[in-house]
Amino acid sequence: MAGTFITFEGIDGSGKSTQLRLVSNFLREHGCETVLTREPGGTTIGSRLRAALLDANEEVDPLTELLVFAADRAQHVRRVLRPALAAGQVVISDRYADATVAYQGAGRGFDSSLISQIVELATEGLVPDLTLLFDISVRESTSRTMRRSNARNKRDRLDIEHADFHERVREAYLQIATSEPNRVKVIDTSGSVETTQGKVKAILIPFLRT
Ligand code: TMP
């Protein structure tokens, strides 16, 4: 039996990881076990790649960055996502291939056909059944990531990119949602965590029932 593959996407500071935690607790309490995973870092080697990719002291060439995200994804697809989906599980991933289109494509400026080829190679054509895109202005997301990094006393390498980088990433995500409205649902996260959680449940619960 084929499982269900759901992804959460959005610019840094959009609130997606908080929402993912809350909704997975909710689903578990209601008897729906989900496999929670993420990119980068959904496998053991992926965790090591994640640490290297997000290290703000690391100088990573954009091509290296693109290929390492793809390597992380190849391992994730083959060792985690495909087996879980083949076993009929509901899998929710905090980021997946849309992030490469948005960050490395629009953010770094790689050609869209190269991005498509690399995404296809790493995913072997595995496309999410549903993607929730958490949307917020760059101004608001930046103040959230600043607060988070001050609390952790640490900033991730991509968080410190300029606002126009994050604007391009946001626009690319919204463009994906416009071109694939059946798969990608946009959720405005400018309200409270509770308000956003209500919107997440309103999409996810009926989807999982079908
Ligand atoms: P996270 O903090 O939401 O887990 O994401 C880690 C960072 O990696 C975030 O800044 C987005 C970035 N990223 C890419 O640039 N390309 C990708 O393909 C993925 C999966 C993440």
Joined tokens for residue 170? 């946001």
Q: Tell whether ligand 1 has an atom less than 6 A from the beta carbon of residue 100.
A: yes
* pLDDT of amino acid 64: 97
Give which of 146, 130, 46 is closest to 90, Cα–Cα: 130
Enter the pTM of the model.
0.96
pLDDT bin (cut points 50, 70, 90) of residue 100 is very high
Beta bridge partners of 187: 134
Q: Which helix (H) or strand (E) holds 114?
A: helix 112-123
Q: Of all protein residues, whose CA lies closest to atom 19 belonging to ligand 1? A: 99
Q: How far is the CA of 210 from the centre of ligand 1 (A)?
A: 30
Residues 158, 66: contact at Cβ < 8 Å? Answer: no
103 close to ligand 1 (CB < 6 Angstrom) = yes
State the pLDDT at residue 1. 53
Residue by residue, DSSP assigns 129-155 as SEEEEEE--HHHHHHHHHHHHHHHT--
90 forms beta bridges with 4, 34
Q: What is the pLDDT of residues 120-172, one digit of tens each?
A: 999 999 999 999 999 999 999 998 888 887 887 778 888 888 899 999 999 99
Rounded Cα distance between 168 and 106, Å, is: 6
Judge if the beta carbon of residue 69 lies within 6 A of ligand 1. yes
